[in-house]
A and B are shown apart, each in its own frame.
Chain A
Amino acid sequence: MKGLRLHQMDVKSAFLNGLIDEEVYVSEPPGFEDHNNPDYVFKLKKALYGLKQASRQWYERLSNFLLSQGYERGKTDRTLFIKNSCNEIILVQVYVDDIIFGSTNESLCQQFVATIQREFEMSMMGGSISS
C-alpha cells in the first residue's frame, strides 16, 4: 500500500451551511416574534435542520466548494473527491458532515485542512489511523 495517513474531521452544524435556492418560509419561532407584525413569516436564505432540502443543499455546497478547489468527484462513489498533483494524490471521503482524508504527501493534508477551515467551521477528530 501507499502508507496513507488518515485524518478525520467533521463540520459543525453542517446543515446550517446549505444555501437555499427555493422559496421557503417559516413562522416566527418562539423568542423571535415581531410584536408589531405577529402574522408575518420569515423567508429563509439558508437551510435549517429538519428542512427536507437541507441535506441536498449541504451536499451541493460542500461538493461545489471541493470542485472549485480542483478536486474531482469519484465516478462511482459520488462522495469521494480526489485531487492529483505531480504524482501525489489526496483522497477525501465525505459522509454527510464527516470527512475522512488521506494523502501520499502529508503537506497536501495540511493544505486541505487550512482551505476547508477557511470555508466552514470544522472540528478535527483526534488521532490518526495509518493504513
Chain B
Amino acid sequence: MENCKEASTPIATGCYLDANEIGVDVDQTKFKQLIGSLLYLTTSRPDIMFGMCLCAIFQAKPKESHYVATKRILKYLKGTIEVGLWYPSEVTLNLVGYSDSDFAGCKVDKKSTSGTCHLLGSILISWHNKKQACVALSTAEAEYIAAGSCCAQTIWLKYQLSDFGLNLSKIPLFCDNTSAINLTKNPVQHSRTKHIEIRHHFIRDHIMNGDCEIQFVDSENQLADLFTKPLNKERFNFLKNELGIIDFKNVN
C-alpha cells in the first residue's frame, strides 16, 4: 500500500456496494482490523466518515469488492496525510446544525442514511453518519428522521454549552427538504406520514419549545452532504473547505 497511487476522494462517485454474494471472500479479521483503524481515525478526520461507514456495513462477510473500496480510503489518506481540523481562535460562539439523508442509501436492506454535523461559529465540533433503524417510505421521511437525530445532538450540545455559561435558544437546524421542514411544524396525521414512529416526532416538541429552529438551506450549501453521499472531487473539496478540514501544508 505504501507505493500506491493517491486518490482524490475516499469513495468513487459511482460507487455501488451491495452484499455481493458471488464475490471472492477476503480475510474477515484483516478487513475488521482495517475498519477499526479507520474508525479510530474518524475522530480527527471527518472527511473519511462516510466512506468508512459505508464499508463497515460489510464486516460480517467481506468480499473483494468491499476490500477494494476500503483500500481506496487508504489511497485517499496517502495523499492527504496533513489534513486536519482547523480551529481558529477568533470565532463567534453560535451553534448551527445541518442534517441530511441519503434515501435508501444502503443497497442491502434499502434503509436510508442520516448524516448530521454541528458547527460552533465556523468550526466543526460534531459529526455523525448512521444507517437509520427503519426503512423510510419517502425522502421526506428519511430527512425527517435525520433532522430528529440532529435535533437530539443539538439539545445535548445546548446543555453542554450552558455548563460553560453559554445559553443558547432557537438554535438553527438546516435541512434541505421542505416537506420534512413542514412535517416538523405541522403536527397533523397525514395519510403518508402517519406510520412514522413516535420517537421521530421528538423534534416537533423541541421546535415548539423554542430549543431549536428548523431552516431551509439549498442543496448547494448543505454541509452535511459530506457525511451522506459519495461526492465528486470539486464538491468534496468545497465542503471540506467550508467545514474547516484543511491541509496544513497550505497553512503558514
A binds B: yes
A residues at B contact (CB < 8 Å): 1, 3, 74-77, 80, 82, 84, 89, 91, 130-131
Q: How large is the interface on B (under 10, 10 to 19, 20 to 34, 35 or more residues)?
A: 10 to 19
Contact of A130 among B89, B156, B162 (CB under 8 A): B89
Name the CB-closest residue of A to B161. Answer: A76
CA distance A106 to B232 in the complex (A): 47
Contact of B87 among A74, A82, A131 (CB under 8 A): A131
User: How far apart are B45's CB and chain A's nearest CB, in angstroms?
Assistant: 19
- The residues of B that contact A82 with a CB separation of less than 8 Å are 163-165
Q: Is B91 an interface residue (CB 8 A)?
A: yes
Pair A1/B159 contact, Cβ less than 8 Å: no
Given contacts A76-B160, A76-B162, A77-B160, 13 further A-B contacts (CB under 8 A): A1-B89, A1-B91, A1-B93, A3-B89, A75-B159, A75-B163, A77-B163, A82-B163, A82-B164, A89-B165, A91-B164, A130-B89, A131-B87
User: How far apart are A46's CB and chain B's nearest CB, in angstroms?
Assistant: 31
Name the CB-closest residue of A to B163. Answer: A74
Q: Is B90 an interface residue (CB 8 A)?
A: yes
User: How far apart are A89's CB and chain B's nearest CB, in angstroms?
Assistant: 6
CA distance A131 to B85 in the complex (A): 13
B residues at A contact (CB < 8 Å): 87, 89-91, 93, 156, 159-160, 162-165
- The residues of B that contact A3 with a CB separation of less than 8 Å are 89
User: How far apart are A108's CB and chain B's nearest CB, in angstroms?
Assistant: 14
- Given A82-B163, A84-B165, A91-B164, A76 and B89 touching (CB < 8 A)? no
Name the CB-closest residue of B to A82. Answer: B163
Name the CB-closest residue of B to A91. Answer: B164
CA distance A130 to B89 in the complex (A): 8
- The residues of A that contact B162 with a CB separation of less than 8 Å are 75-76
CA distance A75 to B160 in the complex (A): 8
- The residues of B that contact A1 with a CB separation of less than 8 Å are 89-91, 93
- The residues of A that contact B164 with a CB separation of less than 8 Å are 82, 91
- Given A82-B163, A84-B165, A89-B165, A76 and B90 touching (CB < 8 A)? no
CA distance A45 to B92 in the complex (A): 50
CA distance A77 to B164 in the complex (A): 11
User: How far apart are B145's CB and chain A's nearest CB, in angstroms?
Assistant: 24
- The residues of B that contact A74 with a CB separation of less than 8 Å are 160, 163
Contact of B163 among A80, A130, A131 (CB under 8 A): A80
CA distance A89 to B166 in the complex (A): 12
- The residues of B that contact A89 with a CB separation of less than 8 Å are 165
CA distance A130 to B88 in the complex (A): 10
- The residues of A that contact B165 with a CB separation of less than 8 Å are 82, 84, 89
User: How far apart are B78's CB and chain A's nearest CB, in angstroms?
Assistant: 28
- Looking at B91, B93, B163, B165, which has the most chain A CB atoms within 10 Å of its CB? B163
User: How far apart are B226's CB and chain A's nearest CB, in angstroms?
Assistant: 24
CA distance A80 to B165 in the complex (A): 12
11 residue pairs bridging A and B, Cβ less than 8 Å apart: A1-B91, A3-B89, A74-B160, A76-B156, A76-B159, A77-B163, A82-B163, A82-B165, A91-B164, A130-B89, A131-B87
CA distance A129 to B66 in the complex (A): 40
- The residues of A that contact B87 with a CB separation of less than 8 Å are 131
CA distance A131 to B93 in the complex (A): 13
Name the CB-closest residue of B to A4. Answer: B89
User: How far apart are A83's CB and chain B's nearest CB, in angstroms?
Assistant: 11
Name the CB-closest residue of B to A81. Answer: B163
Pair A131/B160 contact, Cβ less than 8 Å: no
Pair B89/A131 contact, Cβ less than 8 Å: yes
